[in-house]
Every structure is written in C-alpha cells, then in structure tokens.
Amino acid sequence: MKIHIDIDCFFVSAVRIKEPTLEHLPVAIGGRSDTKIFDTSAKNQTVNFVNSGSFVPTFYKTYEAKDDMDGFKDVDGKIRGILTTSSYEARSFGIKTAMTIREALQLCPHLIIKAPNMSLYQELSHQLHEFLCERIPLVEQASIDEFYGDLTGWVSEESLPSFLDTLRHEIKAKLKLPVSIGAAPTRYIAKLATTYAKPFGSKIINKYNLDTFVNPIKIESFAGIGKSMQMRLHDVQIFTLGDLRKRRGTVESWGPYAKDLYRRVNGESDAPIVTTHRRKSIGISRTFDPLFDRVELKRRVRVLARHLAFAILKLDVIPTVFHLSISYELNQSSHKNISLAEVFTEPKFNALCQELFLSADTQRRLQVIRLSINCSSFTRDSKKELSLIGFAEDQEMRVLTEKTQELREKYGINALRWASEM
C-alpha cells in the first residue's frame, strides 16, 4: 500500500506551535511579495536551502523579521497582500486561500493575520521528513507539507488502520503537527483519500471500496485534471470520476496523457516512491505595483540577478538555460529564453539577464507588475559541454565571483552590490 501524508493547515499549525494561544481561533497567514529586495537600503539577506533536494521552494530571508500586520501595510496604512492559508475556524466564515487580506477581514473582522515564517516551515518540514524516514522504509517528499510512503511488505493490510492511527498521534505528540493520511494501492488514489481524511484523520481505500469511494467524486478534485481537461471532459458530459471510468474509449482516444490519466483514476497506474529529488531548476520572481520606468526595471533585474547568482553559486551548479519573463498590466505577458553552456560568473549572468529583459520587453507602452528569472538544465543533468571560447578569461572571472560569494556568505547578499543598483 502507498500512503500520502499531508500536514493540516501547515503554516497555521506551525505558528500555533510558537503561539499556543492561537489554538481554536480563526487564524490566517498573509502573503506579500518581498519588494523590499529592491530598496537601496535593503537589509542583509541569505538564502535558505533546507530540504533543497525535494520540491521545496528556495527563499531569501532577511536577518530582521517584520511585525505581522505591519508587513502588509503601505506607508499610507493601506492593507495589501493575500492569504496563503487559513485555519478551519477561519474557513467557517467563508475565508479561502488567495483571498485578499482586506476581503478576509470584511468576512471575519476578528481574524488573526500572521506574517509568513519560511524558516520555521522549512525546519518543521525537515523534522517531519526525518521522523517519517525512521518509521517507513521509503519516503518521498512531494512538497513542503506533503509526503508519500510505501508500506509494501512492511505493514500488513490488517495492521494498517492501527499503524496509521499510531503514526498520526506520534507526529502530533512529538512535532505538534496535525497530519491527515490517505492509504491506497496507488499514490494517486492515496492522495485523493487524504482530502477526505481531513482534518487529522486517516482513510484507507482498497479494492473492495474503491468504486464506492472514487465514483461520486467530481473530476476537479483529482490531481492532474487541470482546467483545460475539465472543460474537455465537461463537453462530453463527464462530471464525476465515475463518469470518466465508464468512458474509457472516449478518454483514451485523446492521446497518451489522457490514457494515463484514465489509468490513474481507475487505480491501474502508479509511480514508484522516489526518495530523493535532484533540483533541476532555480528561479526568483517579484510582484510589485505597476511600474513604467524602464531604467528602474533594469535596476530591479540586476537586483534579482544578484540574488539568483548567489543561490546558484551556493548550489554549486552551472545552468545552461536562462529564462526571463515579464508580466504587464491588463493581463499581458512576455518572455525570452536562451541556451548558453559557459562557465558561470556573476558579471556574465548579470549582462545576460539585462539582454533577456531588453528582448522580452515587447510591450513597452505598458506598466510592468512582475519580473521572473529562471535557470535550468544544469550541466550535471544535461548533455551539454561547456564552450572553450574565452574559457581562460571566464576562469579568472570565476575566481573573482567565488571570492565575492565568500564575502556575501559571511556578511549577507547585500554586502557587495553593483553600483548601478544604488
């Protein structure tokens, strides 16, 4: 049997560990893009790579933590930001993820808004991963708050209910984290079962109750069925997973992806538990108030490039594919990417990002609201070989880049900045 473990309202559960008085109260975690990264007087920052081998995002943390609600207020007192998660008590007021903080406070004026604490989330996620590895032979971390495990040959089907119940309560007792667990013959059905085990419960699906469990569920609830596939299924009168299972020929005629999707829903397709995930890409992005000034935008590209270069050097990888995207007002967007197999140095990377920005900025009459830079296809994973053109000069610049990295490791990312950023 495969199991899927999901931490209930993880970010809220984490803050309740630090502040037990928040238990049973309507609590939400706010989210707002850290635009202070662009301040010329920005605080020293470092990068966090806890659990970097799993699907856990990289984030840049400041050494000074901001107050909760103050972090979501502009200088004029206007509240900004959205909710990243909320407690079950808050959800009873109609509060949902991605709702603006202002909308949430209108629904629940006594809602307690807390600032995110990524360092704490990473630490607790890592602790739970280690805890599970001591009790389950194969553990895969799928995200910061969810894990898969393989109990085949480890726990008998008769012992499964007591094993899951004991595991849940052990996690709650030792780590103070409430988790829900779904168990099924495949990881895809196990993940679906977890949804119906919440909060702080467990649900077991086997060959005897698979039909009665799966069939009534709406197709939107199954991971892997996106909006475009939902629309396609609705067009042929498929609204539930039971409907989908009855229409094998129709679904499989749509191609390999649809064919595999059918097999996942039917409990026929599975994937092995992968205990380690090597990072294949790394990126940084920021959303900000609409901005037209191209000189300022280029400066912000330099700031993002400097932070991303620090993370790349800390990972000790050489990316060969570089991507920059721009989001404009009016839901417009543009992007540009380039492949380059050369020694990675910060000056070259900075120049490359400027070049990508100039090429990607195709809507110059519009204001920009978001900048994103992503690097992928590391030389350890790709088949690309580094170019020998200018290799000696690049090596000299690499030495200088590494010396700069040492200073930033010691004093923070902002210890050394480009003059054009000031």
CATH dotted code for 122-265: 3.30.70.270
Side by side, the strands of the sheet bearing 281-291 are: 281-291, 368-376, 321-328, 333-339
**pLDDT of res. 63:** 42
Query: Residue holding tokens 């900075």?
Result: 350
User: How many Cβ atoms from other residues are within 10 Å of residue 223's Cβ?
Assistant: 12
**In the predicted model, what is the mean pLDDT of residues 203-223?**
96
**pLDDT of res. 317:** 86
pTM above 0.85?
no
Q: Is the pLDDT of residue 52 over 50?
A: no
Range with the lowest mean pLDDT among 231-245, 316-330, 381-395? 381-395
Residues annotated as part of the active site: 146
Domain boundaries, the chain: 10-117, 122-265, 281-421
Tell me: the pLDDT tens digits for 307-366?
A: 899 888 888 888 999 999 999 998 899 999 999 888 888 899 999 999 999 999 999 999
Q: Is the pLDDT of residue 380 over 70?
A: no
| Cα separations in angstroms, 400 against 290, 313, 395 | 36, 12, 9
Q: Which CATH number fits domain 10-117: 3.40.1170.60, 3.40.50.2000, 1.10.3720.10, 3.40.50.300?
A: 3.40.1170.60
Tell me: the pLDDT tens digits for 143-162?
A: 999 999 999 888 998 999 99
| CA distance linking residue 363 with residue 299, whole number of Å | 18
Class of domain 281-421: alpha beta
| CA distance linking residue 83 with residue 111, whole number of Å | 11
Question: CATH topology of 10-117 equal to that of 122-265?
Answer: no
**In the predicted model, what is the mean pLDDT of residues 156-171?**
95
